[in-house]
Structures are given as structure tokens and as C-alpha cells.
Amino acid sequence: MRFRTRVFVLYFAPVALLLAVSFWAIQSLVQATVRDGLRTTLRENQLSMARLRSRSDLENSRFLKVAGENAALKAGMQLLLSAPANVAARATVEDQLGELCERMGFDLLMVANPNGVPIAGVIRAGAGQNTGIVPMPQQLPQSIRPGLEVFSGKIYQLATVPVDQGEENIGSLSVGEVFDVSQFNTPTVLLHNGEVVESSVPGVSASGATRALKVCAGKDECDLHLAGANYVSLPMQNVAFGNGYELRSLQNVDSASAPVQHILHRLFLFAGTCTLLFALILSFFASRTVVHPITLLISHLRRSESTGLLAEFNEQTGGIPEFRDLSASFNRAALAIRDARESLHRAYVEFVGSLANALDARDPYTAGHSRRVSALSCATAAEMGLPEEDIEQLRVGALLHDIGKIGVADTILSKVGRLTPEEMASIKLHPEIGRRILEGVNGFSPYLPAVELHHENWDGSGYPRGQQGEEIPIVARIIHVVDAYDAMTTDRPYRSGMSHHRALSILQECAGTQFDPEVVAAFIKVAPRPESWEPETALCEMA
């Protein structure tokens, strides 16, 4: 991944993540607030229903007390208790119960003996317009208990009062109403021993509600997941049904929070889009601000790597203080390295000069030869328009061109008279000796051509490699011309130095065979000129 891309992601990703986390946190807070509000509403509704049910129970209790004082009903109950198999007595009691049930609109009336065992009763049969009061089947329940009971497949809520004759209890009277969870204004489920027997939750089966409500076992308030939605559930407060029955109210949290969630979604969609767009633009420009100066610095270092020189960094790095400090530190380092390099170069030049002086000191006749060749070679190169880098290489190479003569015996170098072929062969080894001396030092590698090839001739007759023409490096060709001139004009043990014009005549005569004609022409322009000189026949032989 590119550096700019990484910086962009580092700027943009935290903003996007923060936005997502904020949205999730606010959404969770809204749901929690809605859930708390639903719990409060459910409690209030349950309290209201409990008060209504209490009033209804009170009215039922009053009716039952009045009905329990009915003389005809008491007489019928006494007759039936004394003769349980008397059909007429049973019919009389059922007629009395049916009349009361019809008049009061109840769904069930039943009388029991003092032990609570039912002896007769009536029940409202049918539905809608086809309802009617009919006697209960002969197979009556074993006992009657207040609360919820199942008769003929329906659940009834029962209330019971005793029936007394004087001081004697002759039984009890029970009234029942069909229990329907749809009467409540909130989704409600009725459970019996943990199993849902009735439910008013839309789209939810009794078995599905039973599985979902298992998380509420032993809890008053609980959160559950039902039919793909989140619900909050509370038990009906202040209402006890007994007989293993429990009534719980449920409220759909998702449905209640949907309007707020819709508004939040729209708000966050707008705010999030604007924020992300702003973060995108900000991250783009921020990444450019960070990456651009670093890219410039890296490019500058790569250029320095290719050139070998650590130049100062002058590009604009923007307004970031750290980058300005980095550029300033880099420039200080570059300046320190440049100063150290210049100091090293000066020491190096002094060392080269010392080598040249040491070489010239071996032969009093050639004292200053290397420095003269270096100076005239640089002047010739400048006349030819060579680059400054080549001129500097030529200057040092010329100082070292005869370094290989260190390996030649002093008796040969200072011999008076002509050299023998064996001695001349020994002299001709000095370019190779000089190359071997310098090639072991990495800093002298640019000057090896000047040292090794300055005796190569233009026509290929030179030594040590027999190169010719432009195959010979230009620095070696220039040193060859200047070296020959200085050798001809300098006194030697076996001869006196030639005159200036005589040496120039020889150079011109040998141009194109021994010397590069272009170099000879340039050298003549810069060589010291006498007031007049006469051309003479030249011999192209050099010692």
C-alpha cells in the first residue's frame, strides 16, 4: 500500500469508525430510553386495569352476596343437598341460577355443597347472537376455587361467596366470566404452569410465545426476542389468578421506537454523509500535506544517492513545524557532511601532492614535473571545453601519472646515457605498476585511466595496451601531449632540454601518429609562447 494511501486511511478510518460507534451508541440509548418508557407505560396500564378489575370484583361480590340471600335459591339448594338425585330439585336450582345469570350477564353460575363440591350450575353456550343459558353437564368439577378454571374448553375467572341459612353454611355460590386476553389494550399472554394457553400478540403462536418467554422464568421484568422483534415483558401487577396461571403484558420495543429510529436514520444519513464527505476531503488534503514534503525529501535523497553528494534541501515543506525542523536538521547534516567531504578532499589533494613531490624528489632533473604536467593539462582541457568534473579528474590524474616509477630502480631513472632495451622495457612497466598501486584504494579509481594509459599513441603504437584514436580516454591523451612537451623541455642526465618552439614543432609533427591532433592544437594555444620561434625538423622519439 502506498504511503499516501496509508496516511489517508489513518486520517479517514478513525472518523468513519467514530461516526459508526456514535450512531450505534445513540441508537442503543434511544432503544434503552424507549424500553424504559414502555415499562413505565405497562406498569401504569396494569395498575389501571387492576383498579378496574378490583371495582368489578367488588361489584360481583356485592351481587353474589345479594344472590346468596335469595330464599328460593336457598330452598332449592337445601332440597338438592338432602336429595342429590332429585331431578326436580336440580332443575329448580338451575332455573334460579339461569334467571340470575341472564339478568346479570354472567357466563357461569354454580352452587356447591359446604365441602366445595359443585352440585348444580348453568353456563352460557354458543357465540354471538346464538348465546343461551344452559345447565352445566352432569359431570361437574371436583371442586371450585377462586381464580381461573377451565370449563368446556373455555377459561373462566371465578369469584365465590358462602351461602348461609341462619348460622349454618349450606354451601357456596360461584360466578364466572370468560377470560379473554384480547380485552387488554396491550399484547398479553396467559400462561399456565409456564405454558402459554392464550395470546393476543399478533402473528405469534402459543408455542412460539412459550419458547420466547422461557428467558423470563423467575423474573418480573425481562427483555425477549419474539417473531423477529424485540419485546419487553412484565407480569400483571396486583392480580393473582392462582391455580398455576400467570398473566404477562408485552410491548414491541422495535415498533415503539420505529418512528424515532426513522428520524434518527434520516438525521444520521444526512449528518453522516456530510461528515464523511468532509472527512474525505480533509483526509485527502491532510495526506497530501503530510506526504508531499516527505516525498520531496525521499526524492532528494534518491538524487543524492545517484550523485553521491548530499546537497541541501531547499524545497518548500509546507507549514508543519515538524517538517520544517526535519528539513532544517537535514540541511545541517548535509552541510556538516559537505564540510567533512571538503576537508577530506583537501587532505586527499594534499596527500596526492605529497606523493607527486616524493616522486619528483627521486630525480633532481624531473623536480616539479608532475605539477607542471597537471597545470598545463588542466589549461588544455579548459581550452577544449571539457566539464569541470573531467578537469578535476585530469588535474589529480596528471599529478599521479608517473606514480608507477616508484617501482623502477633509481639506477635506471638517473642513468646517464641511452637506456638498453631491457632498461627501456623496465621503464615501460611504470603505467601498469602505477595502476596496481592505485587500484587497491577505492578513492583513486577515477584516476586509473590517466595513470595507466598516458603512453598510448594515437595510431595504436603505444603501451601498455596498444589502444588507438578515441578509444584512448581523453584525459590520457591530454597528459600524453603535455608529458611529452615537459620531457622535451626539461634537462635530463643524458641530454639538455629542447627549446619551447622546438618541442612544439615535434608535437605538431607527431600529431596524428603519436598524439591526438585536437589535443595538440589546444595545447599550442595555451602553452607559453616565446617572442619568435623557428620550425625545425622533428623526431617523434621520446625518452
| Shared-domain flag, residues 159 and 244 | no
Peptide bond into 464 cis (omega under 30): yes
Region 401-421 average pLDDT = 81
Average pLDDT over every residue of 391-417: 84
Q: What is the pLDDT of residues 65-115, one digit of tens each?
A: 777 777 888 888 888 888 888 888 888 888 888 888 888 788 888 888 888
Which tops the pLDDT comparison, 477 or 442? 477
For residues 513 and 390, membership in a common domain is answered with yes
Average pLDDT over residues 278-283: 70
* pLDDT at residue 341 is higher than 80: no
pLDDT value at residue 532: 39
Pairwise CA distance, residues 431 & 453, whole Å: 7
Residue with the larger pLDDT of the pair 153 and 362: 153
Quote the pLDDT of residue 432: 92
Average pLDDT score over residue span 435-459: 87
Residues paired with residue 131 on neighbouring β-strands, in sequence order: none
Query: Residue 275's pLDDT band (boundaries 50, 70, 90)?
Result: confident
Same domain, 440 and 471: yes
Residue 171 has pLDDT above 80, yes or no: yes
- Residue 216 and residue 80 share a domain: no
Closest by CA to 518, choosing from 396, 372, 386, is: 386
Same domain, 144 and 84: yes
Rounded Cα–Cα distance for residues 366 and 373 (Å): 11
Note whether 171 and 213 are same-domain residues.
no
Q: Which residue has the higher pLDDT, 368 or 60?
A: 368
More confident residue, 497 or 380: 380
Q: CATH number for the domain including 91? A: 3.30.450.20
Residue 442 resides in a domain = yes
pLDDT at 380 over 90: yes
pLDDT classification of 543: cutoffs 50, 70, 90: very low
Residue 540 has pLDDT above 50, yes or no: no
Indicate the pLDDT class of residue 34, thresholds 50, 70 and 90: low
Residues 190 and 101 in one domain: no
Q: Quick one: 112 and 203 in the same domain?
A: no
Asked if residue 381 and residue 370 are part of one domain, the reply reads yes
Q: What is the pLDDT of residue 224?
A: 85
User: Does 372 lie in the same domain as 247?
Assistant: no
Tabulate helix, strand, coil % of the chain (nearest 5).
60, 15, 25
CATH of the domain at 229: 3.30.450
Rounded mean pLDDT, 458-471: 93
pLDDT at 539: 37
Cα separation, 394 vs 378, whole angstroms? 7
pLDDT, one tens digit per residue, over 226-243 is: 888 888 888 876 666 667
pLDDT of amino acid 217: 81
Number of domain units in the chain: 3
pTM of the model: 0.44
Q: Decide if 108 is inside a domain.
A: yes
Please give the distance of CA 493 from its chain centroid, rounded to a whole number: 83
3-state secondary structure 111-122: EECCCCCEEEEE
Please give the pLDDT value at position 146: 77
Domain boundary among 190, 225, 256: 256
**Long-range Cβ contacts of 335-340 (<8 Å, 24+ apart):** 337/310, 338/309, 338/310, 338/311
Decide if 131 contacts 72 (C-beta within 8 A).
no
Q: Is 506 inside a domain boundary?
A: yes
The residue-averaged pLDDT of 280-303 equals 68
Q: Answer yes or no: is pLDDT of 283 > 80.
A: no
Q: Is residue 62 part of a domain?
A: no
The predicted model gives 20-46 an average pLDDT of 70
Q: For residue 542, which amino acid is it? A: M
Among 139, 154, 179, which residue terminates a domain?
179
Domain span at residue 83 reads 69-179
For the segment 476-495, what is each residue's pLDDT rounded down to a tens digit?
999 999 999 998 988 776 67
pLDDT of 363: 61
Judged by average pLDDT, the poorest of 317-321, 461-465, 495-499 is 317-321
Q: Alpha-carbon distance 339 to 341, whole Å?
A: 5
- In the chain, how many H helices and how many E strands? 15, 11
Tell me if residue 536 falls in helix, strand or coil: coil
Asked if 187 and 156 sit in the same domain, the reply is no
Residue 384 pLDDT exceeds 80: yes
Identify the CATH number of the domain in which residue 460 sits.
Answer: 1.10.3210.10
- Are 173 and 191 contained in the same domain? no
Least confident of 30-34, 450-454, 457-461, 523-527: 30-34
State how far the Cα of 353 lies from the Cα of 370, in Å rounded to an integer: 9
Q: Is residue 59 part of a domain?
A: no
Label residue 535 by pLDDT band (50, 70, 90).
very low
Interval 7-33 mean pLDDT: 71
Residue 373 lies in a domain: yes
Q: Which residues contact 78 (CB under 8 A, 6 or more apart)?
A: 165, 170
Q: Is the pLDDT of residue 471 over 90?
A: yes
Classify residue 339: in a domain, yes or no: no
* Domain stops at, among 207, 238, 256: 256
Asked if residue 417 belongs to a domain, the reply is yes
- Chain position carrying cell 401487577: 237
Mean pLDDT of the chain: 78
